[in-house]
């Protein structure tokens, strides 16, 4: 049996090379020995985290992170079609781009979450505050991920947090996007509960929330 650490590195390298065949081979090899949960939690998710960290460190580009997420999502769909993270339970997770029309970050987070076995409802982009709030409340969303690329949109997250909080104090709001990365104090100003610097961060945050049972 390959050591997990070796396989994570190899899987990450295969993702970065966009070598779909190698990714399939490595995962099938592991699936023959272990469960889907193991493959997701001990290989795919750590590999995507490694790649996300690489982007933070300036060694990997956003386009590579995007393609890695896409390939992972495809592999999970192919090889683990019925896998669903046991951590999610009945928790409802949704994501949307508030106000603006820059949707790549949201897409990458969805890929990363789905690759980790989570179901996510996509609210799309260009959504106004009231629409996001009403959909999140209607859907009884437990964890709402909000992506923004413009400062003006990012500042409006506060309205989302306040309005959802008035009706559902248990809902958790996670934010991400360039304004939050480049201004590290911005997310706290909005009252959001967490901030993710990249798509792998979003998975880490959702993992920790589901482990703690938050949003229930």
Partner 1 sequence: MNSSERIKVALSHREADRVPYVLSASMHPAREMGISIKEYFSSPDNVVEGQLRLIKKFGNDVASCYPFAAFEIEAWGGDVIYFDDGPPNAGAPIIRKPEMILSIEPPDVRTNRVLQSVLRATAKLKEHVGDRTLVAGVIISPLSLPVMQMGFESYINLIYERPDLMEHLMKLNIGYCKEWANAQLEAGAATILYYDPLFSPTIMSDDIRHKYGITAAAELMVRINGSMLMHMASGRGLPIMEEIIEAGFAGMSASAEDDLRELKNRSIGKITLVGNLNALEMRHWSSSEAEKNVKRALAQAASGGGFILSDNHGEIPFLVDEEILLAVRDAVHKWGEYPMTWIEEFEL
In the numeric block, the tokens 């996001």 are attached to 132
Indicate which single residue of 2, 5, 33, 101 sits in contact with partner 1 (rule: CB under 8 A): 101
Radius of gyration in angstroms for the set of CA atoms belonging to the chain, rounded to a whole number: 17
Q: Which is nearer to partner 1, 62 or 216 (CB)?
A: 62
Instruction: Identify whether the C-beta of residue 195 lies closer than 8 Å to the C-beta of residue 180.
Output: yes
Contact residue for partner 1 among 62, 119, 130, 188 (CB under 8 A): 62
Q: Specify the stretch interacting with partner 1 by CB under 8 A; choose among 32-40, 77-85, 93-101, 207-215.
A: 93-101
Among residue numbers 31 through 50, which ones bind partner 1 (CB under 8 A)?
A: none
CB of 55 to partner 1, least distance (A): 8
Closer residue to partner 1, CB minimum distance, 30 or 199: 199
Tokens of 89: 């339970």
Residue among 63, 82, 138, 169 that touches partner 1 (CB under 8 A):
63
Kindly tell me the sign of the dihedral angle through the C-alpha atoms of 101, 206, 112, 167: negative
CB atoms within 10 A of CB 184: 10
Q: Could you say whether residue 64 binds partner 1 (CB under 8 A)?
A: yes
Q: Shortest Cβ distance from residue 168 to partner 1 (Å)? A: 28
How far apart are CB 158 and partner 1 at their closest, in Å?
13
Counting residues that bind partner 1 (by CB under 8 A) gives 27
Applying CB under 8 A, which residues contact partner 1? Answer: 18, 58, 61-64, 66-67, 99-104, 107, 126, 150-153, 155, 178-179, 182-183, 185-186
């Amino acid at each position: 049996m390959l050591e997990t650490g070796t396989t994570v590195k190899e899987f990450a390298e295969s993702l970065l090379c966009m070598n779909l065949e190698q990714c399939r081979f490595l995962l099938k090899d592991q699936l023959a020995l272990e469960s889907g949960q193991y493959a997701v939690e001990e290989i795919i998710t750590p590999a995507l985290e490694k790649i996300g960290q690489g982007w933070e460190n300036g060694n990997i580009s956003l386009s590579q992170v995007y393609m890695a997420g896409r390939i992972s999502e495809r592999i999970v769909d192919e090889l683990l079609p019925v896998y669903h993270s046991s951590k999610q339970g009945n928790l409802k997770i949704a994501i949307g781009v508030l106000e603006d029309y820059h949707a790549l970050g949201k897409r990458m987070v969805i890929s990363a979450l789905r690759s980790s076995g989570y179901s996510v409802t996509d609210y799309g982009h260009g959504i106004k505050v009231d629409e996001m709030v009403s959909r999140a409340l209607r859907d009884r969303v437990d964890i709402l991920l909000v992506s923004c690329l413009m400062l003006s949109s990012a500042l409006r997250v506060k309205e989302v947090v306040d309005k959802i909080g008035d009706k559902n104090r248990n809902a958790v709001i996670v934010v991400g996007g360039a304004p939050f990365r480049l201004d590290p104090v911005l997310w706290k100003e909005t009252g959001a509960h967490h901030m993710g610097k990249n798509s792998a961060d979003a998975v880490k945050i959702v993992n920790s929330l589901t482990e703690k049972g938050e949003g229930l």
